[in-house]
Structure 1
Amino acid sequence: MKEASPGVKQILYFDCFSGVSGDMILGAALDLGLDLQEMKDMLGCLNLPGWRLERERVNRGGITGTRAIVYVDETQPPERNLPVILALIEKADLPDVIRSQSAAVFRRLAEAEGAVHNIPAEKVHFHEVG
């Protein structure tokens, strides 16, 4: 990935007026210059078996971009709730700061989903990220 010039801060702002998905975020990172193999190596730190990542150029509504496609070997991906996701994050080969930030993001997502569905955060199933 391209380095910022010394003393220059880089900020990425997502204007997700109609939502955003994980494949869209990964595709945007690839469009910004992240190498596909570097992304695969980073995702490999999660120690999750049975997946592969590919990219393709797409044109939707006249806008061209990169679509990241994650293929999973399982026909029925496991349903993972917050405690399972937090355990996966804890076991991942990630720097401590990334591990704690990732756990905080999933806790917040679980709290929001739980509030919407009137269930405890620990019972929320992350079917779309699992």
Structure 2
Amino acid sequence: MHDEHDGAEAVSPEVNRIGRAVMDAAFAVHRELGPGLLESVYEQCLALELRRLRVRVERQIAVPVTFREERIDAGFRLDLLVERQVVVEVKSIDALASIHTAQLLTYLRFSQVRLGYLINFNSVRLKDGFRRLVL
């Protein structure tokens, strides 16, 4: 089950605090850079902004898939893992689609993290490119 917007009560106050830091950092990056750049640029700048806020962030974290009790390195990579408790998937595309939500839900499931953000920086208003998912 996931809750796209209202999952605040479904995760701990600490995880929500980390989520707010992600949102604040994303808005700061978008305010400065605007839309139209590559995903890799936004990912790197978002990581820098989170570190500036003294939030621990890891980039391009490999996530194995477990199938019938076998570990398979299938090439899944989380764009950002924040404080080991929030997954951030960065996009710079025309519009988010249901497949992007499915991708983030899969990353949450296999990484055993409950809160994730799908952020499309290629939006004129960043709030229109935000999805918050709770597993």
TM-score (ref. length: structure 2): 0.30
From the two aligned structures, give the one with the greater strand fraction: 2
Which of the pair has more CA radius of gyration?
Answer: 1
**Higher normalized contact order (CA 8 Å, seq sep 6+, divided by chain length):** 2
State the TM-score, normalizing by the size of structure 1.
0.31
